[in-house]
Amino acid sequence: MNLRCDLHTHTIASGHAYGTIKENMDAAYEKGLEAYGFSDHAPALDGGPVDLYFVNFRVIPREYKGMRIFAGVEANIMDYHGNLDIKGKVYERVDYVIASLHTLCIAPGSKEQNMAAYIGAMSNPYVKIIGHPDDSRYPVDYDELAKQAARHKVALELNNSSLHPESVRQGARENVLTMLQKCKQYGAYILCGTDAHIWTDIGEFAAAREVLKEANFPEELVLNTDVNKLKYVINDNKYVKW
């Protein structure tokens, strides 16, 4: 499966990543990607940039060497109602919002609490991607998660970094395989993301491809295979031209 796009990546602005936007764009171009997106952590995560960083995204070119560029944010889900740590103009200036649970921002809850957090985030009209919902520390009902993702027209992320042997996330491979089967059942879309924190990892989807193959997951439900399919997760604003 040819994965042509990578939207979950981080720059030095996240505080614990190691590449500039230009270094990342160059790496994405050299990997042959047709679209590259950077999604730095929102302010509640230690070291994350302030709101003004995202509000100024109007200056970011949306094309580089013929490659589409998207400027997003990985927002933190802050409570079991699904409220995020971004507000106001940030929503208007970013091209897409990934909503994720991070232990530095919210303690793992019960299965019911974690599901309420995800469903609450999905109810936000700007949220089109749920980031790495694969960590056993945050147990969820994958049947209901896939059903709600399809209902809210939100993509669930297949996070390549979660599948790394040294990932802090627990039980990711087993959870991802379960999630993929439920996504097939309900027609929920998957977006593969590398979660790259250094430019060398951008566009490296080997582990994600392996589980997609193992799950016999249909290509039509993977958004990375065609740049135009990204319209499913890109918010309408005046900075994005299709």
Asked if 148 and 160 touch (Cβ cutoff 8 Å), the reply is no
Tokens of 177: 């395989």
In this predicted model, what pLDDT tens digit does every residue of 195-235 receive, in sequence order? 999 999 999 999 999 999 999 999 999 999 999 999 999 99
Of residues 69, 58, 132, 143, the one with CA closest to residue 102: 132
Distance CA(132)–CA(165), nearest Å, equals 15
In a domain, 180, yes or no: yes
In a domain, 242, yes or no: no
Tell me the sheet residues that pair with 77: 84
Q: What is the CATH number of the domain that holds 119?
A: 3.20.20.140
The pTM of the whole model exceeds 0.85:
yes
Give the model's pLDDT for residue 59: 97
Q: Compute CA 233 distance to the chain's CA centroid, rounded to the nearest angstrom.
A: 10
In a domain, 142, yes or no: yes
Give the model's pLDDT for residue 144: 98
Tokens of 173: 């491979």
Cα-based angle 124, 190, 64 (whole degrees, multiple of 5): 85
In a domain, 95, yes or no: yes
In a domain, 130, yes or no: yes
In this predicted model, what pLDDT tens digit does every residue of 161-187 receive, in sequence order? 999 999 999 999 999 999 999 999 999
In a domain, 42, yes or no: yes
Number of domains in the chain: 1
Contact residues for 212 (Cβ-Cβ < 8 A; gap 6+): 1, 158, 180, 190, 192, 222
Q: What is the 3-state secondary structure (H, E, C) of 5-71?
A: EECCECCHHHCCCCCCHHHHHHHHHHCCCCEEEEEEECCCCCCCCCHHHHHHHHHCCCEECCEEEEE
Domain that holds residue 76: 5-232
Phi-psi region at 87: left, alpha or beta (left = phi > 0; alpha = psi -120 to 50): beta
Distance CA(127)–CA(183), nearest Å, equals 18
Percent of the chain with pLDDT over 70: 100
In a domain, 159, yes or no: yes
Average pLDDT over residues 44-62: 97
In a domain, 239, yes or no: no
Asked if 124 and 151 touch (Cβ cutoff 8 Å), the reply is no
DSSP state of 218: -
Mean pLDDT of the chain: 97
